[in-house]
């Protein structure tokens, strides 16, 4: 049960507290911190519950595979986990796009500038 000032858990994530008796892996702890930060920034809501639950499950799967020595597919699991969390972040803003274009234009100018002549080459 939540404290009076504690926000209600997102639908689908209510039972996650039942695993508190288990030792959380570093990946799970990091995923939980990321989710908490996203919640504080109001970047996640009920529509994201399945994605968040899947991210926590993947963190568990990665930890299980690590403990049992089945590391061959952990890279794939990690990529999926990062992709899931990345999709929760807002898209790049228009300012980011303008900055990218300005940097590309600056790079083109720098690359097209003539090489400085060596004073000793005369």
pLDDT of residue 116: 64
In a domain, 9, yes or no: no
pLDDT by residue for the chain (122 residues), tens only, comes to: 455 566 676 555 555 455 554 578 889 999 999 999 999 888 898 899 999 999 999 999 998 888 888 888 888 999 999 999 988 887 766 667 778 888 888 888 777 767 667 656 55
Range of the domain at 95: 14-113
Instruction: Name the one residue in this structure whose structure tokens are 């590309």.
Output: 104
Looking at the structure of the chain, the number of domains it has is 1
In a domain, 57, yes or no: yes
pLDDT of residue 1: 47
In a domain, 62, yes or no: yes
In a domain, 91, yes or no: yes
Print the SS3 string covering 39-100. Answer: HHCCCCCHHHHHHHHHHHHHHHHHHHHHHHCCCCCHHHHHHHHHHHHHCCCCCCCHHHHHHH
In a domain, 23, yes or no: yes
In a domain, 8, yes or no: no
In a domain, 4, yes or no: no
Rounded CA separation 106/46 (Å): 43
In a domain, 82, yes or no: yes
- Predicted TM-score of the model (pTM): 0.58
């Amino acid at each position: 049960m939540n404290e009076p000032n504690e926000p209600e858990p997102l639908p689908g994530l209510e039972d996650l507290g039942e695993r508190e008796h288990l030792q959380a892996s570093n990946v799970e702890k990091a995923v939980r911190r990321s989710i908490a930060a996203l919640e504080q920034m109001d970047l996640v809501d009920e529509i994201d519950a399945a994605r968040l639950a899947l991210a926590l499950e993947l963190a568990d799967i990665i930890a299980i595979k690590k403990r049992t020595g089945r590391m061959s597919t952990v890279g794939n699991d990690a990529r999926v986990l990062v992709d899931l969390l990345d999709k929760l972040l807002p898209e790049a803003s228009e300012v980011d796009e303008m900055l990218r274009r300005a940097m590309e234009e600056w790079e083109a100018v720098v690359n097209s500038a003539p090489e400085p002549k060596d004073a000793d080459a005369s």
